């Protein structure tokens, strides 16, 4: 009876458990692994507790018992589990970072309570849109995130983690969508009255096919977060989106 709503929720448009890109997938895997581990540890501690309550007083020799509980379980067990987990998580995190490797860079500029984006459009020319970000599917892209007023946070749960938009501190965020499609995004940092409505969409298009019709807007262009990165938009040749790049 509960299975249907459960599945609907897990496969929802903002669900982290419905990954559609390598970053989100890795994190979802990390989550499931941690969930299993945490479940086992909780069960183990509860069993210990029940046994401790059930059995009568049987004073073991003082030092043996302290060695077992404090050094065995308290230090030995917890330290080994944590070491393995931490090493795994750092390894996962390390592979998600935005690096200088020539990935497509798009701009996201947050304001109370809307998102403006600049992305390469037809012919590599930068195009500004509001509320919708267009990126090629199947290849990594970096979002250069800025804010014009208060702190916001850029989050597309199906593609990966969030990154804050902080005035004066531009951030670079690496994401990728495996397949063409529409992915929902939202502001994740409380930013005032309009916070619940500060949504946006990421449209991942097939780079091999024709470009979608960008619903571009006019007005003052978003200031580049990283002036050196934006140069990619202006040239003609180098910004052409590689047609057949396999996802790595």
111 is a site residue for another protein (CB under 8 A)? no
Span of 69-77, 123-131, 203-211, 232-240 interacting with another protein by CB under 8 A: 69-77
- Asked if 178 contacts 21 with a C-beta cutoff of 8 angstroms, the reply is yes
Residue 14 CB, nearest distance to another protein (Å)?
A: 3
Q: Does 187 bind another protein (CB under 8 A)?
A: yes
CB of 69 to another protein, least distance (A): 3
For another protein, what does the binding mask look like between residues 140 and 169, x meaning CB under 8 A?
---------xxx-x-x-x--xxxxx-xxxx
If phi > 0 it is left, if psi is from -120 to 50 it is alpha, else beta; for residue 81 that is alpha
User: Per CB under 8 A, does 96 bind another protein?
Assistant: yes
CB of 97 to another protein, least distance (A): 4
Pick from 75, 182, 215, 221 the residue near another protein by CB under 8 A: 75
Among 36, 38, 215, 217, binds another protein (CB under 8 A): 38
CB nearer to another protein: pick between 102 and 235 = 102
Q: Judged by CB under 8 A, does residue 223 bind another protein?
A: no
Query: Does residue 177 touch another protein according to CB under 8 A?
Result: no
Q: Between the CA of residue 242 and those of 73, 101, 104, 178, 186, what are the distances in Å?
A: 54, 14, 10, 15, 28
Interaction of residue 93 with another protein, rule CB under 8 A: yes
Is the CB of 25 or the CB of 241 nearer to another protein? 25
Minimum gap (Å) between residue 4 Cβ and another protein = 10
């Amino acid at each position: 009876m509960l299975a249907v709503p459960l599945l609907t929720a897990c496969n929802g448009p903002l669900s982290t458990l419905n990954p559609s890109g390598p970053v989100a997938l890795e994190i979802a895997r990390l989550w499931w692994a941690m969930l299993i581990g945490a479940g086992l540890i909780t069960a183990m501690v509860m069993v210990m507790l029940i046994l401790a309550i059930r059995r009568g007083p049987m004073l073991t020799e003082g030092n043996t018992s302290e060695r077992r509980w404090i050094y065995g379980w308290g230090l030995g067990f917890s330290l080994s589990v944590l070491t393995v987990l931490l090493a795994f998580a750092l390894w996962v995190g390390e592979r998600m970072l935005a690096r200088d490797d020539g990935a497509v860079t798009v701009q996201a500029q947050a304001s109370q309570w809307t998102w403006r984006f600049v992305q390469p459009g037809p012919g590599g020319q930068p195009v500004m849109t509001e509320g919708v970000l267009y990126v090629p599917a199947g290849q990594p892209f970096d979002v250069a995130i800025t804010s014009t007023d208060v702190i916001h946070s850029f989050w597309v749960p199906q593609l990966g983690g969030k990154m804050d938009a902080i005035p004066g501190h531009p951030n670079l965020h690496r994401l990728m969508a495996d397949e063409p499609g529409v992915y929902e995004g939202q502001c994740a940092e409380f930013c005032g009255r309009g916070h619940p409505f500060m949504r946006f969409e990421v449209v991942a298009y097939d780079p091999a096919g024709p470009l979608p019709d960008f619903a571009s807007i006019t007005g003052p262009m978003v200031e580049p977060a990283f002036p050196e990165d934006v140069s990619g938009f202006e040239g003609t040749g180098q910004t052409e989106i590689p047609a057949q790049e396999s996802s790595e």
